[in-house]
Structure 1
Amino acid sequence: MSTPSFDPSSDRSAQLRAPAHWQAVEFISDLHLQPGEPKTFEVWRAFLQRPAHERADALFILGDLFEVWVGDDVLDSSASTDQAFWRACADALKAFSLHTPVHFMAGNRDFLLGAEGLKACGMQGLSDPTALDFLGQHWLLSHGDALCLADTDYMRFREQVRQPIWQREFLARPLAERTAIARGLREQSEARKRSTASDPSLWADVDTTAARDSLQAAGASTLIHGHTHRPAEHTLGNGLQRVVLSDWDAAAQPPRAEVLRLDARGLRRLPLPLS
């Protein structure tokens, strides 16, 4: 099967200029918050409740904050047995956003988070990709899934579910039906992960040429993204690089929870307390 081509001119990045008073920003992604994993939720809530002197001037969430999001009505529907969990997530974010702006970029698990959900969480939606103008440079932000070109099955699925007509038809279904569909898709995804777990060569990763083309089109030198759950720094040549965010899993062995901070000192990975 051939690898899809990539045309950066068809996916121009949005632009976001940081206010002059910003001194530091933070990036996280792939927390996959869900009712069945309370440890990660508690670490995340403690992160949001840090004292003022520890916080950055803005928080950027680059996708997959939630393990699944089947519609904004999960926050207010009595038909949802997990409503209390989703409401707790929204309330924690809303409280945090009162003193720190939160920019949210959809991932492959929570792309159905809509205007009402963003409002309930106190978040501002962010296009994928977005070029952030901060500290005199452009930093290209993305979830990263659109650049995993070798994952052809997923790329076809992504193209389908990002269509407005597909989303309207899906969201018109009863909540219980949407939840069941999402559960089935998650099970398929987990089965696929297990089947490739022992062979890293089969893991989907960002296409180097696509990453380089995206950076050049945006006038940026550093791409910051999540999705792959493989935190690292990759040199792309000609002064370009991509930096991969860590996923979060407080119940794993060893546990994982990390924030990427950008300030005058550069990019730094800051592990969070896990107990």
Structure 2
Amino acid sequence: MPATPIDRFARLIAPAGWQAVDFISDLHLQAGEPETFEALARYLRSPKPQRGDALFILGDLFEVWIGDDVLSAHASTSADPMFWRACASALHTFSTHTRVYFLHGNRDFLLGPAALAACGMQGLADPTVLTFQGQRWLLSHGDELCLADTDYMRFRAQVRTPEWQRDFLAQPLAQREGIARDMRAQSEARKRSTGHDQSLWADVDTDAARDWLQQAQAHTLIHGHTHRPAAHALGDDGLQRVVLSDWDLSATPPRAEVLRLDAQGLRRLPLAS
């Protein structure tokens, strides 16, 4: 029997008791920006009425992830193991009463089973169809749909192979750190070449997003990656994509936001104050 369109995508059916779910992405947590971690920690400590029944992290939780062994590294290394362990501890404590789901981003695609367990997170495939409140919602980090960014798409195809990841993770931690620094420097150089003008960055391809939604039999794609929080109509048939905010507490004004989905629909909850 031929597969129906939705069979292409992973699926998650929300338990009947869920009333609300929260989505975040692109926190880019790093030791050098403790304010962002503190904003996350405040959310994780919030009482039940102020949070959803589940938290979905749609990629780039961390600025960079060079292997799960950073969690057990010695404090004398430059991998900031104490910071990573603090992040994992806060998330794991939260997961004891609220489910946490994680979908890889372009910065933390190497986050593996040991880190997922340490953070109390359940991994999701990209994309995943969430069935909640009687509707299907398509979840993705979003980078796979930025087809116009051909340099990145070539890079993504390379680093997502098991062979590349095996060879990278086999290198000493210090060497991996150096490679990650070089990659980040190249990324910053690309941003500087556009004057940090986000309108010049490659965005999600409309036709590709529509194709995903039609195959998934969903009306809304929720994603991050582009740092352009907004709702974008994808035609006159009701299909749309909703972009999550990145988090940057040092920006003016500071940014930190949860997207909540409940019976009333989608709404944005600022957390920067």
The two structures have a TM-score, normalised by structure 1, of 0.94
Q: How many residues align?
A: 266
Report whether the alignment pairs 1:229 with 2:227. Answer: yes
Query: Aligned AA for 2:251?
Result: A
CA-CA distance at 1:201 after TM superposition:
4.8
Q: Counterparts in 2 of 1:188-227, with a 5 A limit?
A: 188-197=186-195, 199-227=197-225
Query: Aligned AA for 1:272?
Result: L
Q: 2:22 is matched with which residue?
A: 26
Distance 1:197 1:214 in 2: 32
Report whether the alignment pairs 1:247 with 2:236. Answer: no
Q: 2:37 is matched with which residue?
A: 41
Distance 1:71 1:80 in 2: 14
Q: Structure 1 87/220 Cα, relative in aligned 2: closer, same or farther at 3 Å?
A: same
Distance 2:257 2:52 in 1: 14
Report whether the alignment pairs 1:74 with 2:70. Answer: yes
Task: Give SS of 1:15's match.
Answer: strand
Q: Structure 1 28/170 Cα, relative in aligned 2: closer, same or farther at 3 Å?
A: same
Q: Would you say the 8 A contact 1:74–1:80 is kept in 2?
A: no
Report whether the alignment pairs 1:54 with 2:54. Answer: no
Question: Which residues of structure 1 form unaligned runs of 5+?
Answer: 1-8
Q: Structure 1 273/154 Cα, relative in aligned 2: closer, same or farther at 3 Å?
A: closer
Q: 2:159 is matched with which residue?
A: 161
Query: Aligned AA for 1:179?
Result: E
Distance 1:256 1:178 in 2: 30
Q: Would you say the 8 A contact 1:105–1:128 is kept in 2?
A: yes
Q: 1:149 is matched with which residue?
A: 147
Q: Would you say the 8 A contact 1:12–1:129 is kept in 2?
A: no
Question: Which residues of structure 2 form unaligned runs of 5+?
Answer: none
CA-CA distance at 1:52 after TM superposition:
2.0
Distance 1:158 1:235 in 2: 27
Q: Would you say the 8 A contact 2:140–2:224 is kept in 1?
A: yes
User: In the TM superposition, what whole-angstrom CA distance separates every residue of 1:31-82 from its partner, at most 9, and x where no partner exists?
Assistant: 0000100111111111111012212100000000000000000000116330
Q: 1:266 is matched with which residue?
A: 265
Query: Aligned AA for 1:142?
Result: S
Task: Give SS of 2:77's match.
Answer: coil
Q: 2:111 is matched with which residue?
A: 113
Query: Aligned AA for 2:164?
Result: W
Task: Give SS of 1:132's match.
Answer: strand
* Identity in percent: 72
The two structures have a TM-score, normalised by structure 2, of 0.95
Task: Give SS of 1:188's match.
Answer: helix
User: In the TM superposition, what whole-angstrom CA distance separates every residue of 1:216-271 from its partner, at most 9, and x where no partner exists?
Assistant: 00010000000000001100121100000000001111100000000001000010
CA-CA distance at 1:199 after TM superposition:
5.0
Q: CA RMSD in A?
A: 1.5
Q: 1:126 is matched with which residue?
A: 124
CA-CA distance at 1:273 after TM superposition:
4.2
Q: 1:137 is matched with which residue?
A: 135
User: In the TM superposition, what whole-angstrom CA distance separates every residue of 1:102-160 from its partner, at most 9, and x where no partner exists?
Assistant: 00000000000000000000000000000000000000000000000000000000000
Q: Would you say the 8 A contact 1:29–1:65 is kept in 2?
A: yes
Structure 1 runs, 4 residues or longer, greater than 2 Å off: 197-202
Task: Give SS of 1:33's match.
Answer: coil
Query: Aligned AA for 1:67?
Result: E
Pick one of 174, 177, 180 that aligns with 1:176.
Answer: 174
Q: Structure 1 24/199 Cα, relative in aligned 2: closer, same or farther at 3 Å?
A: closer
Range 220-229 or range 200-209, more displaced: 200-209
CA-CA distance at 1:194 after TM superposition:
1.4
